[in-house]
Amino acid sequence: MTETTDLNSSHDPLPEPSRRSFFKKFLAIVIGGVATAIPAAAALLVFVDPVRRKRGGAASGEFVPVTPLDAVPADGTPRRFQIIADRVDAWTKYKAVPLGAVYVKRQGDEVVAYNALCPHAGCFVNVAADGKTFHCPCHNSGFNADGSLRPGAVSPRPMDRLEVDTDALAQGQVAVKFQNFVAGTADKMPVS
């Protein structure tokens, strides 16, 4: 009599995984995923941080101190002041660097400020020979004492007026919301 052997009977069937081992594997995957995701998310935030932040420091909409109010003549004569503030460019922060310049004028209690760049091509505007109006030497644009265009000016818009902090004025300081604007356009668009 020949003995027949069953091939499957010689091997034990594979044990079914228990619930406990499945739970251990699942928990290991979850913990490993969390342990990997946290540093990956932190790295991604550092990488995209410059995109989320506004560039420029003072251009971010904060008032920047310019000068004591006493340094501005009360007779309407414009004075040019350099804007010194912190500047952020991507991941780098520069402390107390020149960002540009403004003209500040005072007549009585009214204080106005203009960006010192010509809206035509971005050249620096000078005070004209009369001491009250403005002149751009690059393309011969002229601006009246109130920043408006003079006849024959090639600039597409008047000088860019900046917001002056009234709270700082009450404390004897001039502070402006400094920003540059796109040159060569009739619209006053902030440089981003």
* Overall pTM surpassing 0.75 (yes/no): no
pLDDT above 80 (res 62): yes
CA distances from 94 to 55, 90, 91, 97, 144 (A): 12, 11, 10, 7, 35
Q: 């003995």: which residue's tokens?
A: 3
pLDDT digits (tens, 9 = 90+) for 133-154: 999 999 888 999 999 999 999 9
Domains of the chain, residue spans:
15-52, 57-176
Q: pLDDT exceeding 70 applies to what percent of the chain?
A: 83
pLDDT surpasses 80 at 84:
yes
Q: What is the C-alpha to C-alpha distance for residues 136 and 7, in angstroms, rounded to an integer?
A: 100
Is 126 buried (19+), middle (13-18) or exposed (0-12) by CB count in 10 A? Answer: middle
Three-state SS annotation for 164-189: ECHHHHHCCEEEECCCCECCCCCCCC
Angstrom distances, CA of residue 44 to CA of 30, 35, 37, 38, 158: 20, 15, 10, 10, 43
Which pLDDT value is given to residue 87?
Answer: 80
Decide if domain 57-176 falls under CATH 1.10.10.60: no
pLDDT at 5: 52
Instruction: State the pLDDT at residue 116.
Output: 95
Average pLDDT over residues 79-91: 84
- Tokens read off for 79: 């004075």
Residue in this structure with the two tokens 């107390």, named with its chain if needed: 96
Taking the alpha carbons at both ends of the chain, their separation in whole angstroms is 95
Lowest mean pLDDT, pick from 49-58, 130-139, 175-184: 49-58
Provide CB contacts within 8 A for 19, sequence distance 6+: none
Residue 79, phi then psi, degrees to nearest 5: -125, 140
